[in-house]
Structure 1
Amino acid sequence: MQRRTFLKGSAVAALAAVPLTTSLSGSASAADIPVASLTALQSAINGAAPGDRIVVADGTYTVPSGGSITISGKNGTSAAPITIVSKTRGGVVLRGERGFVLSNSTNIVISGFAFRQSTTLDIPTNCSAIRLTRNDFQFADDGDPYWVVVRANDTKIDRNHFHNKTTTGIFVVVDGPNKTDMAQNVQIFRNHFSDHSFTGDNGGEPIRFGVSGRALANAGGKVEYNLFERCNGDPEAISVKSSGNTIRYNTIRDSKGGIVLRHGNGSTVEGNYLIGGFDGVRIYGNDHVIVNNYLSGLSGRALVVGSGSTRDHNPSETETQRRGNDACDRAVIAHNTLIDNAGMLEGETRAFEPQNVTIADNLLVGDSGDLVAMGATTGFTWKSNLLWGAAGNGNIPAGGFIRANPLLAQGADGVSRLTAGSPAIGAATGSTAVADDIDGDQRGSVRDIGADEYSTGPALRHPLTAADVGPNAP
């Protein structure tokens, strides 16, 4: 798969041919304000009113050392945001120490820029409803380790490309006010994250949603429809360290990192594809729902139900205690498909075993090792899982599975799905509330085992490609 880049070869012409339309302004009566210098840009921002659309002429703009493009005390509305936009996508290159600096502002849209600065783009807590859309991010490798830090409620980061980092650091960090709370309702969607090649063991995540001190804060965030390719800077491509988030419909391909619910409770991981990389899904904390995920060809562990150095995190624990693992309790793991991974469904061996987890209606296929290798558990419920292949059953309880050939066939998108006559069809317990499958097909009242509900129609969702995400995505 070819990685799309800005400012190189034919990519420049392709991006320059895509003008940014007035639809970003959100208002038919918005004023277009053309600018062609940093001075004119700052003047236009200072005088901007709701619905204004500041259009920056294509070119390379270098912000002087110690300077910035300041957005302070500017307030659009949800229907008429203040929009700052490159004339063509990727046509404005911002260089220098820093670019936009925001404070005390709401309903601001920044779109179409190629960011080449060296310091963090911070969205502070005194802002809200800030949107970064259709931008290209490739900060200086020797600059700040974090590229974008979100602390403001109702932030949207969509249709951007974050790429080519070789040093420690994170593409997007979501934090919040003080040391324990989280920014609320942050949405990260339709972005392309690629080529994070930091070689250390830790500290190179594409996305970190929270941090250990914020684990118990409910964030209500969504990370969906993003593509991750060659993200090798950390075992966690999507690192969740807060509560109440939804991670769905993402594709992680050929990457070291997987999806890890490292701290926090009550999150959902649904309908994600993890293909041909290393790690899959790893979960700690309480009351998570893991459904409809497809994990195939991973050279590490596909799905790990984590044990803990503590039973439950709590507000009175020390900072050191909070950094430890919280045992996975009361999770629901259902309708997932695991195919030909080096490690399949596994546990761990810390002091506090996972408890009261339901593992039902999953499809596990493999030809080596054991399909299930759990550590100590308490109160697990195993129902209607389907196992197949030369791999051993492992330590799954005898009443928790059937063994039969699921009759899979691989489609043009590389995904193996059920075919007519599969014993998985209609064999699920139906006890887990899952409305549709990974393809978007409705489950109905009689459900199939695994992530795929048998259908002869075209899939409504599929593994994402570069055409589905990034600055030129639909």
Structure 2
Amino acid sequence: MLKRRCVLLPFLFLAICPMLANAEEVRVETPAALQTAAKLAKPGDIIKLVGADWSDVKIKLILKGTEAKPITVQSQVAFTGASELNLRGEYVVLDGFTFRNGSLKTGHVIRVRGAHNRVTRCTIEGYNPESIDVRYQWMSLYGHHHRVDHCRFTGQNHSGTTLVVWLDDDGEVGRHRIEHNHFLNRSRGNGNGFETLRIGTSETSMKSARCVVAENLFENCDGEVELISNKSCDNIYERNTIVGCAGALTLRHGNNCIVRENLILGDGDRHSGGIRVVGEGHQIIGNHIEGVGDRIDGAIALSAGVPNPKLNQHTQVKNVLIEGNTLIDNAGEEIVQGHGLGSRSRTLLPENITIKNTRRTGKPQLKRLKPEDVGPDAKQK
């Protein structure tokens, strides 16, 4: 175990390095050394994983930092084989973890529980089983107030959502920020369960999650019709760039979500989609949708609803504001009212829909995110 401390005169130490007072930097080369360091870790400490790559390891970390002094675990090694990471913590930063060329039989590649944790500059790449039907999640968030930023998720080709927010814990849940991440090259699935991002489930869809999904880049994510699957209430999706994805940003369950200032470009994919809406009280504002296919029959699709629906069915669309959206050269209709009417007992048309200021020409006024703007290699603000 190696330690690094400020080398300063005692009377200058607290004035110049208050955040490092009593903090340690520990370098570990084995899973056993990591567990020992985690048991001894104090708020403000930094644990660095160094040396050769780690294969077939199941890491379980229980750590507790503070808002002023989080505990940081940085990885300079890659994880392969059947490796996975399970964190239960408060004010913990996971920095630079890479999982590549491995697979699991079930579970989660990275699972985060607790509160106020951050996952940053991490990569999961090609972590696929031999069979497309083997289901596990690449990253799962439980608890509340986590942040996932500047991560890259690439090359998933099996069943299981890439990033999931779960709301079935007791007590406070949600309020996560998912931002500046790069999702790419998610190949076509063979049914449901191939979403790139999902917040909630049908069973918990009436819970308020209050998550923010902002300034992420989605490229060639073709898993299923629901590229993003919203299954909870009060979430915000803003300033994301979606390019050439064979699916739609879908408000599948839940109410009172905001979808604003997203740039959605079909990029020649005839299976691409725009925004699909189910539920009440949503706002679809200032989005630019151009060149998408007819996967959902139009650029913005308001679904038909089921009378007295169960949690897993389509509720009637009501009280939705659609304002200031730019819709250019999309297949199908611009705005579909009653998508799926007549199928699976869906007989209720949308009610009280306000549509204002739809634009049909013009270049995107929104920033198109590029790979250098997001992911582990981007310059962080």
Give the TM-score range, shorter chain: 0.7 to 0.9
* 2:356 is aligned with 1:360: yes
Give the counterpart letter for 1:132 in structure 2: V
**Aligned match of 1:136 in 97, 115, 123?**
123
- How far does the alpha carbon of each residue in 1:282-329 deviate from its partner, in whole angstroms, 9 at most, with x for none? 101000010010000111221112220136x6xxxxxxx211101110
Give the counterpart letter for 1:225 in structure 2: E
SS in 1 for 2:233: coil
Tell me what 1:466 maps to: 371
SS in 2 for 1:85: strand
- How far does the alpha carbon of each residue in 1:15-70 deviate from its partner, in whole angstroms, 9 at most, with x for none? xxxxxxxxxxx944442211222222221112111000111114311245xxx222
**Aligned match of 1:225 in 215, 227, 235?**
215
Rounded to whole Å, the distance in 2 between the matches of 1:41 and 1:140 is 26
Tell me what 2:13 maps to: none
Indicate how the Cα distance of structure 1 residues 124 and 164 shifts in structure 2: closer, same or farther if over 3 A, else same: closer
The alpha carbon displacement at 1:260 in A equals: 0.5
Tell me what 1:150 maps to: 141
Aligned length in residues: 339
**Aligned match of 2:279 in 276, 282, 285?**
285
Tell me what 1:16 maps to: none
* 2:79 is aligned with 1:83: no
* 2:299 is aligned with 1:299: no
Tell me what 1:168 maps to: 159
Rounded to whole Å, the distance in 1 between the matches of 2:162 and 2:97 is 16
Tell me what 1:110 maps to: 94
Tell me the TM-score normalized by structure 2.
Answer: 0.84
Tell me what 1:120 maps to: 108
Give the counterpart letter for 1:355 in structure 2: E
Rounded to whole Å, the distance in 2 between the matches of 1:54 and 1:232 is 37
Tell me what 2:12 maps to: none
SS in 2 for 1:70: strand
The alpha carbon displacement at 1:161 in A equals: 0.5
Are the aligned partners of 1:266 and 1:286 in contact in 2 as well (CA < 8 Å)? Answer: yes
Cα RMSD, aligned residues only: 2.0
For structure 1, which runs of at least 5 residues remain unmatched after alignment?
Answer: 1-25, 314-320, 365-405, 409-415, 418-437, 440-461
Are the aligned partners of 2:128 and 2:158 in contact in 1 as well (CA < 8 Å)? Answer: no
The alpha carbon displacement at 1:195 in A equals: 0.8
The alpha carbon displacement at 1:152 in A equals: 1.4
**Aligned match of 2:78 in 77, 93, 98?**
93
Tell me the TM-score normalized by structure 1.
Answer: 0.68
Tell me what 2:7 maps to: none
SS in 1 for 2:43: coil
**Aligned match of 1:215 in 182, 191, 205?**
205
Tell me what 2:260 maps to: 270
Tell me what 1:69 maps to: 59
The alpha carbon displacement at 1:112 in A equals: 0.6
The structure carrying a bigger strand percent of its residues is 2
The alpha carbon displacement at 1:121 in A equals: 3.6
The alpha carbon displacement at 1:106 in A equals: 0.8
SS in 1 for 2:155: strand
Tell me what 1:41 maps to: 34
Rounded to whole Å, the distance in 2 between the matches of 1:292 and 1:182 is 31
- Structure 1 segments, 4+ long, off by >4 Å, are none
Are the aligned partners of 1:182 and 1:217 in contact in 2 as well (CA < 8 Å)? Answer: no
SS in 2 for 1:165: coil
* 2:36 is aligned with 1:52: no
Rounded to whole Å, the distance in 2 between the matches of 1:28 and 1:145 is 39
SS in 1 for 2:34: helix
Are the aligned partners of 2:55 and 2:83 in contact in 1 as well (CA < 8 Å)? Answer: no
Rounded to whole Å, the distance in 1 between the matches of 2:40 and 2:204 is 38
Are the aligned partners of 1:182 and 1:218 in contact in 2 as well (CA < 8 Å)? Answer: no
Query: Looking at CA atoms only, which structure, 1 or 2, has the larger radius of gyration?
Result: 1
For structure 2, which runs of at least 5 residues remain unmatched after alignment?
Answer: 1-17
